[in-house]
Amino acid sequence: MDWFGRASVEFTHSASPLQLALKGVNKNKNGSSNGAASSPSQTTDLATLCRDSTPVCQLNPLLFNGHLQTMWTAVAKGAPEIYYKRRIFEADHKLYTGSFAVDFAVPPYEDQHRPEDAALPPRTSYFDEDGFKNIGSSDTRPMLLVLHGLSGGSYEVYLRHCLAPLLDADDLPWEIAVVNARGCAGSEITSGVLFNARATWDVRQVAQWARATFPNRPLFGLGFSLGANILTNYVGEEGANCPLKAAIVVGNPFDLQVSNKFLQSNFMGRNLYETVMGSNMKKLINRHREAILEHTDLDLDRINQIKTLYEFDREVQCPTWGYPTEEAYYRDASSCDSLLNIRIPFMALQAKDDPIAVAEAVPYGEFKHNPYTVLCMTSLGGHLSWFEPGGGRWHAKPVSQFLHKMAVEVDLDAIPRDLHDVNTKQRKGVNYSPLRRKMEINLDEA
């Protein structure tokens, strides 16, 4: 029972969670071994590591339900200041053409007030060519790839709270890159390929680039809300070949059709959350009006008449990707089935009172089925909120602690990718594929 802001925390996972070998070698700030002797070989399991990463959830008692927690995000804008250098990547895929922006966290620098940086978010400027050309490194520092929520970007408050502890870690500070969705965070739209809930192609390209550019860095993933859905789909699509060592998602809507129906079924969902999200997406499209007219056949007059997110998806996602209805898009882009194909340590952080990524859409059965996955569900917290007394954000603690424990304590190279088939055994000649989709995404035509 919740009392005075103290939320309960529940974990859902396989009865036989993934076993993890621990390492005993300390590392210095450059990510190299300091020569300390290894401790005797020890093991833990993924569920235990997730529990150990999750502190007591004490939230602000005045924000005593998911609506208050979620709406308080419009007021509480304080967050750690994180500085970025931006690089525009040109898509290297024949089908998913265009460009997208990646923001790399860097040490604080003095604002140079360059004209080319004027449209970017605060504390963000473009890499100069020489600086980016020399970005490659052979160090072994952990590197995190981050995906933000709907219409957001690297500047988001909920995101910066999670990144700051990793950047400031005394024992092993992280390298971090935020993959901005196309057209978001002051980036441009340069083709008819926009982003959707299955838009895994940009994070896939960045992961491949990072693997080649930083061959010794272990890669990790972090996603929020829509970005959590995309990251879950990506990790599932990659399966045992995923270049990431581990991933964590926060506020994932998982089953988009269920989440959407729940939003439409109640007053707050229809008249507040759906309307705000729809308005934000409409503003995003209008911000890129000329590019939309040049690269797509979208009807801007119809788009400007929409009021809700599902109406936006009907007018934008359906004609862009060939879905007959927004419901077909939601069913196809949901990430709940992708959980079954994940083969890296994977944690999901959700709030039971989240009014957007609703608990009814969480695939509890899939978490129980796959030993590589663990669900952490708090009874309070809202959507990407979890406001503590004094203004802190509780979710930053389990996120940063899970990632740091994986990087510092776990022998990442010893994690098996070929456990017994975690999918249900099937009759001969019958083939269930968790990744079978209606919209075919060709991952090979690069």
Q: pLDDT tens digit string along 283-313? A: 999 999 999 999 999 999 999 999 999 999 9
Tokens standing for 433? 């594929």
* Antiparallel, parallel or unpaired: β 6-7 and 244-250: unpaired
**Percent of the residues in the chain that have a pLDDT greater than 90, as a whole number:** 83
Mean pLDDT in the chain? 92
Query: Has 354 been annotated as catalytic?
Result: yes
Q: What's the CA gap between 160 and 76, in Å, rounded?
A: 13
Q: How confident is the model over 308-352, as pLDDT tens digits?
A: 999 999 999 999 999 999 999 999 999 999 999 999 999 999 999
Does residue 37 surpass a pLDDT of 50? no
Query: Has 161 been annotated as catalytic?
Result: no
Residue the block writes with tokens 């990430």: 335
Residue 38 identity (one-letter amino acid): S
Exactly one of 13, 354, 400, 404 is catalytic; name it.
Answer: 354
The DSSP letter of residue 269 is I
Quick one: average pLDDT of 350-360? 98
Instruction: Tell me the three-class secondary structure of 174-226, residue by residue.
Output: CEEEEECCCCCCCCCCCCCCCCCCCCCHHHHHHHHHHHHHCCCCCEEEEEECH
- pTM higher than 0.85: yes
Q: What share of the chain is helix, strand, coil (3-state, %, to 5)?
A: 35, 15, 50
Exactly one of 13, 383, 395, 404 is catalytic; name it.
Answer: 383
Q: How confident is the model over 139-187, as pLDDT tens digits?
A: 999 999 999 999 999 999 999 999 999 999 988 899 999 999 999 999 9
Tokens standing for 33? 């071994």
Q: How confident is the model over 216-252, as pLDDT tens digits?
A: 999 999 999 999 999 999 999 999 999 999 999 999 9
Query: Has 225 been annotated as catalytic?
Result: yes
Tokens standing for 371? 């030993």
pLDDT band at 423 (very low <50, low <70, confident <90, very high): low
**pLDDT, position 188:** 97
Domains of the chain are 6-255+334-414 (3.40.50.1820)
Exactly one of 225, 335, 379, 385 is catalytic; name it.
Answer: 225
Does residue 25 surpass a pLDDT of 80? no
Quick one: average pLDDT of 257-265? 96
